[in-house]
């Protein structure tokens, strides 16, 4: 018998804890659309959990060995990134379910949600921080349970995917340094990556991984954008329910519009501009 398997065999419901799962939706009103609102958010949190699980595995793969990161690890990291990218596709399309809710349907229970907001999703922030977009202000504004705050703090202090990617590139002969866009060091890194992009077959594994991170970063941006349009269509210019956390003057879609251009892998975007034949 394998580890953890009950004597009388596994059952679908007990293995997946379906009864417990179905008890975790607790609407605050009798409004019809509140159940879909809760379920969509819960499903997001489950997917975020899996995304973090995969990204953590990618971090390990890219840091193993100390010296040159081997082809096998890079290929496996790219494979796991493709899973993350597929999940991002699901997350994007899920917004359409939310859009079947008419503005008036949301208004019927919106008041009861204050001051809760997706802004307080600690796992979303973990993904952002792990990717490379850390922010002391967002860490300070984290309004979650103690365990989630502790995890987010760890992400804030820990290494990022962007750092691992650049270390991996260096180990493969593309001299790369972590530096702010606009600095000389940043431009140097971009030009070393231009060499990779100019001749993809020279290091096909590294090229594949680079494009996987590109897809991932674009996926984050597409989600931000899709969420932004959905929010405007549902609440227009109204102040968001999390206005207390986002700060006066940055509430609702005004806050969201400032996040649309965030990039976790700025070097990979800049390569496109600098690339020549
Ligand atoms: C009717 C549906 C929704 C509305 C009206 C809405 C509205 C908003 C607003 C106005 C903000 C900005 C912060 C604030 O002022 O509260 C925000 C942030 C956010 N929402 Fe939503 N949202 C909705 C659905 C969702 C869903 C389904 C998710 C999935 C988890 C989500 C995740 C987030 C996240 C992660 C942020 C923070 C974004 C950032 O800081 O970059 N929202 N939302």
Query: pLDDT tens-digit profile of 74-92?
Result: 999 999 999 999 999 999 9
- Single pTM value for the model: 0.95
Q: How many CB atoms sit inside 10 A of residue 129's CB? A: 23
Which of 119, 123, 260 to probe ligand 1 with, by most ligand atoms within 8 A of CB? 119
pLDDT band at 252 (very low <50, low <70, confident <90, very high): confident
214: CA distance to ligand 1 center in Å? 24
Which of 118, 236, 248 to probe ligand 1 with, by most ligand atoms within 8 A of CB? 118
Residue 169 vs residues 58, 161, 195, 238, 274: alpha-carbon distances, Å: 14, 12, 11, 45, 18
Q: Report cis status (omega within 30 of 0) of the bond before 192.
A: no
Q: How many CB atoms sit inside 10 A of residue 168's CB? A: 23
107: CA distance to ligand 1 center in Å? 15
Gap between the Cα atoms of 58 and 28, Å rounded: 39
Gap between the Cα atoms of 116 and 242, Å rounded: 6
What local confidence, expressed as pLDDT, does residue 115 receive?
86
Q: How many CB atoms sit inside 10 A of residue 42's CB? A: 13
On the CB side of 171, CA atoms within 13 Å amount to: 20
Whether residue 240 has pLDDT greater than 90: no
Atom number of ligand 1 nearest to Cα 262 = 41
Q: Is the dihedral of CA 47, 235, 252, 232 positive or negative?
A: positive
31: CA distance to ligand 1 center in Å? 20
Residue pointed to by tokens 């991996």? 168
The encoded tokens of residue 206 equal 């590294």
Q: Write down all domains in the chain, each with its CATH number in brackets.
A: 33-104+114-274 (1.20.58.480)
User: Measuring from each residue's beta carbon to the nearest atom of ligand 1, which residues come in under 6 Å?
Assistant: 40-41, 44, 98, 106, 117-119, 121, 124, 227, 231, 234-235, 240-243, 246, 251-252, 255-256, 259
Whether residue 275 has pLDDT greater than 90: yes
Q: Atom 43 (ligand 1): residue with closest C-alpha?
A: 118
On the CB side of 105, CA atoms within 13 Å amount to: 14
Find the DSSP H helices in 158-251.
161-171, 184-198, 204-235, 243-246
What local confidence, expressed as pLDDT, does residue 250 receive?
60
Gap between the Cα atoms of 72 and 52, Å rounded: 21
Q: Atom 3 (ligand 1): residue with closest C-alpha?
A: 231
Residues of the chain above pLDDT 90, percent:
87
Atom number of ligand 1 nearest to Cα 124 = 35
- Longest Cα–Cα distance in the chain: 65
Atom number of ligand 1 nearest to Cα 91 = 29
Residue range 231-256: mean pLDDT, rounded? 81
Atom number of ligand 1 nearest to Cα 259 = 41
Least confident of 33-47, 49-63, 65-79: 65-79
Q: Atom 25 (ligand 1): residue with closest C-alpha?
A: 118
What local confidence, expressed as pLDDT, does residue 177 receive?
92
What local confidence, expressed as pLDDT, does residue 64 receive?
79
């Amino acid at each position: 018998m394998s580890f953890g398997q009950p004597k009388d065999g596994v059952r679908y419901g007990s293995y997946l804890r379906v009864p417990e799962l179905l008890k975790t939706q607790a609407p605050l009103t009798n409004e019809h659309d509140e159940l879909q609102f809760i379920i969509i958010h819960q499903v997001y949190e489950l997917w975020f959990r899996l995304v973090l699980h995969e990204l953590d595995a990618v971090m390990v793969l890219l840091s193993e060995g100390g010296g040159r990161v081997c082809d096998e690890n890079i290929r496996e990291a790219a494979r796991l990134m493709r899973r993350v990218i597929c999940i991002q596709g699901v997350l994007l399309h899920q917004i359409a379910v939310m859009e079947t809710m008419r503005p008036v349907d949301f208004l019927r229970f919106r008041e009861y949600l204050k001051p809760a907001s997706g802004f307080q999703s600690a796992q979303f922030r973990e993904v952002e921080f792990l990717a490379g977009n850390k922010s002391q202000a967002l860490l300070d504004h984290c309004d979650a349970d103690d365990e989630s705050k502790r995890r987010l703090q760890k992400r804030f202090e820990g290494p990022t995917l962007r750092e691992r990617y650049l270390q991996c590139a260096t180990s493969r002969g593309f001299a790369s340094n972590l530096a702010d866009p606009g600095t000389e060091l940043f431009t140097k890194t971009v030009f070393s990556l231009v060499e990779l992009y100019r001749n993809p077959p020279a290091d096909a594994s590294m090229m594949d991984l680079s494009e996987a991170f590109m897809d991932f970063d674009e996926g984050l941006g597409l989600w931000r954008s899709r969420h932004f349009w959905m929010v405007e269509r549902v609440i227009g210019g109204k102040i968001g329910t999390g206005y207390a956390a986002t700060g006066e003057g940055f509430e609702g879609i005004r806050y969201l519009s400032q996040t649309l251009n965030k990039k976790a892998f700025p070097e990979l975007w800049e390569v496109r501009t600098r690339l020549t034949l």
